Amino acid sequence: MARRPTTSLWISPLSAIVLPRGSDSLWLALAVFSIFSLLLHHLSLRAACQSTVQPHFEGFGDELDEVDDSLDDPPVQLSDLPPSPSLSQSDSQTHHGPPEHQDDGTHPSDPFPAPSPSRTPRHSEFEYWDEDEFEGLPTDLPPESVEITENTTPSYSESASKPAPPKPPVATTWRSYTVEVVCISFLIAFSINYFTGKRENENLALAWAAKFTTKDSIFEKNFSLVGVGDGEDSPLLLKEGQNVFKFYASGRRYCQGLLATMELKSRHDLIASIYNMIVPCKDEISFEVYMNDDAMDQVVFAIAKKKAAKGMHKDMPDLQRFASLMSPLNSRKWVSEELSVISESKEVASDLITESVLDQVFGERAFEKYREAFNSMHFSDQHSGTHKKKLVFKFTLPKANHMADMTRLVALVPYYIDLVGRYKLSSQARSKTDAARVKAAQESYKELQNARQEAMQKRKAERKKMIEEAEATLSAEAIQKKEAKERARQMKKAMPKMKMTRAH
């Protein structure tokens, strides 16, 4: 028998433990990408809100600065202003010369000349504009809009001299970062749960392998090749996912090999862990034994809990066609009341449920210990798939430190391999099973023929529909030609067939 060192218990190198594999790595990457996208989106929104506190409009800052500078300068006296030309009606000639001298009794050096009663200064907001540059200026302005006194100031200076009250700054507290805190907390919780759940599943799978596949264990004694590789250092378990582990063994009479599949809880997935708190699930292991064609007789048999047995009888094609639920046998000791037996005949059921199995596992008293661990057994030579003859065992895994509790359940696997491999039906039972299988083969053939006919009729209907659609697009002349051609073909078909022979 092939031996495996204890170092072969390790499932994968350190890189496989640290880095996620399979579809779980894709989910982790998507979760990290979504969280960082939310963070960037929220930070951009907050930056936009803060930018509105002190708005800056392009093109207006320089003008406001100029206004503020003009307000800070000392007031300009009217005497300091250059003389302004008077406005008149626009004509073809422009007046850019000095103003005409008027003898009104004022002196140029007088800073505050008295206004003449006959003529008032005509200062306006248009006095510094060029008449050639702006057309359509009003010539006569009302006195109240022209007169400029010493105390008047431009209207824009009053509004500019009053600065707008500053807006209060946005409060930056921890409540402003609620979305960021929630996202980062979720990411941290997801990462911690991923690595802890992954490690817990690996420890559970390694505990099972250490108990049942190492030296002097059940599978090491009953199979010559144990593990997923041919070398001495090949691992015992094959990790197909963070919660799926497989074990393979071969080299035993009556069977081609054995495949054990452990489907554990999705402890590495935070959302699945929360869902499992609401809807509990269990860690399960299933054994599939592929029997040799000449070793297994015509047997259809299953045993499971009552509720599960009804579902199996309804869903499994071989159980539904060949077997039926059996009532307890009064002539002998039988299985626990919590179990139901599905069998093709009473002979098969009584031969496969032996006294030793009842005393150790399926009896009324013995089953109390294995009520939580046992799920079902299903033996059939009419399984669907590549391997027709197969034995299937399904159990629930205990905790890592209680693996010894399912020793007797695991021992059922090699026990039933030998029992079913040696089992032969009686002539009476064989005649019944032969008739049932012939009938099943005929029904399968009829179903196949019906499926073929339905497929042919469907193809004909589709072809006819296509021809009708094509005819709908033809012209009247084309339709007449086609009808004439069809009539000629029918007439030719109706004419009697004549055989010409050569005279001798």
Asked, for residue 270, whether it belongs to a domain, the answer is: yes
**pLDDT given for residue 188 in this prediction:** 92
Q: Domain count for the chain, please give it.
A: 1
Asked, for residue 283, whether it belongs to a domain, the answer is: yes
**pLDDT given for residue 284 in this prediction:** 94
**pLDDT given for residue 437 in this prediction:** 87
Comparing 16-30, 266-280, 415-429, the range with the smallest average pLDDT is 16-30
CB atoms within 10 A of CB 301: 25
- For residue 225, what are the β-bridge partners? 250
**pLDDT given for residue 467 in this prediction:** 82
Q: Domain range spanning residue 334?
A: 204-430
Query: Does pLDDT of 104 surpass 50?
Result: no
Query: Does pLDDT of 15 surpass 70?
Result: no
**pLDDT given for residue 385 in this prediction:** 80
Comparing 216-225, 361-370, 392-401, 475-484, the range with the smallest average pLDDT is 475-484
Asked, for residue 479, whether it belongs to a domain, the answer is: no
More confident: 87 or 195: 195
Closest CA to 228 of 467, 460, 4: 4
Comparing 73-82, 250-259, 439-448, the range with the smallest average pLDDT is 73-82
- Return phi, psi of residue 467, to 5°: -65, -40
**pLDDT given for residue 479 in this prediction:** 80
User: What is the rounded distance in angstroms from the CA atom of residue 347 to the CA atom of residue 257?
Assistant: 28
Most confident of the following: 57-71, 141-155, 250-264, 425-439: 250-264
Average confidence (pLDDT) over 303-323:
91
Q: How confident is the model at residue 418 (pLDDT cuts 50, 70, 90)?
A: very high
Each residue's pLDDT tens digit, 92-103: 444 444 444 444
Q: How confident is the model at residue 478 (pLDDT cuts 50, 70, 90)?
A: confident
User: What is the rounded distance in angstroms from the CA atom of residue 415 to the CA atom of residue 421?
Assistant: 10
Residue 181, token pair as written in the block = 């805190």
Distant-in-sequence, close-in-space partners of 418: CB < 8 Å, separation ≥ 6 = 253, 254
Average confidence (pLDDT) over 244-250:
93
Asked, for residue 392, whether it belongs to a domain, the answer is: yes
Average confidence (pLDDT) over 319-327:
89
User: What is the rounded distance in angstroms from the CA atom of residue 369 to the CA atom of residue 364?
Assistant: 10
Comparing 8-12, 64-68, 369-373, 451-455, the range with the smallest average pLDDT is 8-12
Contact 120, 68 (CB under 8 A): no
Residue that is written with structure tokens 């179903």 in the block: 447
User: What is the rounded distance in angstroms from the CA atom of residue 401 to the CA atom of residue 214?
Assistant: 16
The pTM of this model reads: 0.60
Asked, for residue 495, whether it belongs to a domain, the answer is: no
**pLDDT given for residue 80 in this prediction:** 45
Asked, for residue 442, whether it belongs to a domain, the answer is: no
CB atoms within 10 A of CB 284: 15
User: What is the rounded distance in angstroms from the CA atom of residue 155 to the CA atom of residue 20?
Assistant: 72
Average confidence (pLDDT) over 285-310:
92
Q: How confident is the model at residue 376 (pLDDT cuts 50, 70, 90)?
A: very high
Q: How confident is the model at residue 386 (pLDDT cuts 50, 70, 90)?
A: confident
Asked, for residue 258, whether it belongs to a domain, the answer is: yes
User: What is the rounded distance in angstroms from the CA atom of residue 351 to the CA atom of residue 431?
Assistant: 17
Q: pLDDT over 90 for what percent of the chain?
A: 32
- Taking CA atoms, 206 is separated from 24, 193, 233, 239, 395, in Å, by 21, 20, 16, 11, 17
Comparing 66-75, 344-353, 450-459, the range with the smallest average pLDDT is 66-75
User: What is the rounded distance in angstroms from the CA atom of residue 430 to the CA atom of residue 15?
Assistant: 56
Helix-helix angle 178-212:22-51, to 10 degrees: 170
Q: How confident is the model at residue 115 (pLDDT cuts 50, 70, 90)?
A: very low
Asked, for residue 90, whether it belongs to a domain, the answer is: no
CB atoms within 10 A of CB 370: 18
Average confidence (pLDDT) over 2-24:
46
**pLDDT given for residue 163 in this prediction:** 58
